Structure 1
Amino acid sequence: MPTSAISGGAAAGRIADALGAPNPAAYGERGLVTAFVVRRFVDCGLLVDLSANPDGTLHHPDQVAEVCRREDLADLVAADTPLGPEQAAARFRVRRADFDHMVRPGWVRSPQSIEVRFGTSRAGAVDVALYTMASVYGIVPAHPEVDWEQLRAVEKSRRSPLAALRPAPSPAPA
């Protein structure tokens, strides 16, 4: 390869630049395009991961440049933007408990989770599932049987109409 590979973070930065919304350089600030989006681009075949490292990705800069020239780049990034369960519930304008009831039967699946730490100790760390915006927005059209306005009107401390949903069956062992 005549050019050095670039990291997933650098690829995310180039994609953000192409959208006219550069990722912030300050530590701890989150940009529009994240490594999560880059990994989703790998999963759907838009980018190739040249690394064998499970904690990071490496990409050919020419391939990243090709992705950056796509006319539908903004839509692709928006579709693969990660949402935590609280953010997903807010997008639906439902309670977090209602969103959890959508996850249990497999209406939406998390392709990745992140570890969130509270304080400086690992003892306070929890894994938070991330969902793609496209998968979250796909729930409503996929489930017309749900009265979404009624669900949004359920008051706090009231039982969710989705509480009766059964969990998705576990995959059969190989």
Structure 2
Amino acid sequence: MREKVILAREDVNARLEILKSFEPLIKKCIKYYVHDREYYSDAMQEGYYIILKCIYNYDFDKEYPFEGYVKSSLIFGIRNFAKKIKYNVSLDEQMSDEGGCLYDFLESDINVEEEYGHKDDIRRLKDAMDKLSDKQRKVIEEVYFKNKSMVEICKSRRCHYMAVTKMKDRALKKLREEMG
């Protein structure tokens, strides 16, 4: 088997041959651990993936035979796969004979249309801010985004209070015009 594994690392046909030889073991593990047949093909793919990992990760210096390494890897891998899918619940899954799904029972404070409109407003504000001069944009950012007072802005810029106030007013007027 050692030669097959070495060859399988380089040759696709050798890999396929090894995969085929362990297919019954994959099916047995699936039968034992995966109880929902809806996941059968996913579990098969997971088994193939585990064997391919074994081909590349097998250490020839160990005394443990390749077949044993694959078997234990498959058992633990398929069991972990089954644990993951055990907790999968679809929100669209029908809850009763009268209809209705889990999604219908969930409450939410989020209004999708409102959220989309909010994102659109933010994009429009960003576009409008890009049309301001650098000085105007910095004043708006400092006042509204960094919560600085007008006095702090005047001190940091070493300018008169009225100059900053007028700049802020012109910037707000321009923003209102741009945003409609």
TM range (shorter): under 0.3
Question: TM-score, normalised to structure 2's length?
Answer: 0.27
Q: Which has the larger radius of gyration?
A: 2
Q: Which has the higher helix share?
A: 2
